[in-house]
Amino acid sequence: MTSLERVIKAARGEATDRIPLDLGSSFVTGITKNAYVNLARAMGRDVGEPELYDVVQQLAVVDEEMLQELDVDVRGLIPNMVRKSVVGERVGDCDVFADEWGVTWKRPVGALYYSAVESELAGEISEADIDRFAWPDTGDAKLFDGLAEEGERYHRAGYAVMLECICAGMFEMCCRVRGVEQFYMDLAMNPSLAVKLMDKFVELKVRFYEAASQYVGEYVQFVREGDDVAGQESMLISPGMYRDLINYVGFFQADRLQKPHSLRKGFASQLSRLGVERGLIAWVGRWKLKDSLYIYVNYAEGDMVKLSYIYFNAKQDIRFRYDKQFDFDKEESDFLLDHYRNSINHLKI
């Protein structure tokens, strides 16, 4: 059984010869530099000064021989974003750099990770300021330089291939570029600005995945995509605010996204196939990568939130569907978005 076959069977809930493993394929399945050095030492290896693929979290690129020794089944493709290869400066006793989103990150010398400390979009802004901001080109071919070659090599070797997303989820990114406190105030006091900013990140993500399908789609079986709107015990915003302001924001759209927040006016054919009533959709996606079709649905109906994703790959005859629903009035709703965040990390495309 190849690694890819093992991962696909596990995703389907079918028996495998062993539990599939992932280490270092994404920003949420990595190992920090110090831990990696200690692991290598315990395995009798000298990895020297590790290369990093995420400077913010100090995540180390795991040596291929070590991945093979540990029987890791997944290999990752990390877009060439700023945090992958930082050119920063030393300011006092801190290392500092600014990313492509206008966010400045700072790490005291010897500390374990960077923290976001300021942003160009913080403070008083208007919707026009969002339009005028110098957003990065998330469809830039340079983001994918070298990734097709990596992906082909991993695919030929029989591994499952994971593509890391271009940035955090739309809610989390809004918290970063506005500041957590300010974005929460936006949601409460200026919801039109908050929604416009979330829509912008949806638009940027869609552009990234359109480019990804062109440059690396032939080799990718998984993407790592998620958002952070819940803690370990509860949601960070009320279910009512979630339904009112986030529930209708499109995540991926089959056609080019003209108005990301106008899902109620579109997707009739896709929704009818899924048997989902229009107006209840939170995220609907139909995304084609070569011979693959991926649909993800997350919607609220009364006090119930339902999650479903469907995957079909004609070339490899891979089919998979997952369904789960949560009741806001029950205790299990406390980990609703934790479940969403964890499950979406391994969605099929």
Question: Is 225 within a domain?
Answer: yes
What is the DSSP code string of 167-224? SS-HHHHHHHHH-HHHHHHHHHH-HHHHHHHHHHHHHHHHHHHHHHHHHTTTT--EEE
How high is the pLDDT of residue 247?
57
Does residue 155 lie within any of the structural domains?
Answer: yes
Domain assignment present for residue 38? The answer is: no
The pLDDT, as a whole number, for residue 271 is 29
> What's the pLDDT at 320?
45
Average pLDDT over residues 105-125: 96
**How sure is the predictor about 60, in pLDDT bands with cuts at 50, 70 and 90?**
very high
In a domain, 116, yes or no: no
Establish if 307 belongs to a structural domain: yes
> What is the per-residue pLDDT across 78-89, written as a single tens digit (0 to 9) for each?
999 999 999 899
Segment 193-200 mean pLDDT? 91
Instruction: Report which of residues 296 and 241 the model is more confident about.
Output: 241
User: Tokens in use for 181?
Assistant: 């406190």
Q: How many domains does the chain have?
A: 1
Question: pTM of the entire structure?
Answer: 0.75
Considering only residues 297 and 24, tell me which one the structure prediction assigns the higher pLDDT.
24
Residue 261 scores a pLDDT above 90: no
93 within a domain of the structure (yes/no): no
pLDDT of residue 214: 85
170 falls within a domain: yes
Does any domain span residue 118?
A: no
Residue 247 belongs to what domain range? 3-10+73-81+125-344
H/E/C letters for each residue in 181-196? HHHHHHHHHCHHHHHH
Q: pLDDT at residue 259 above 70?
A: no
151-195 per-position pLDDT tens digit: 999 999 999 999 999 999 888 999 999 999 999 999 999 999 998
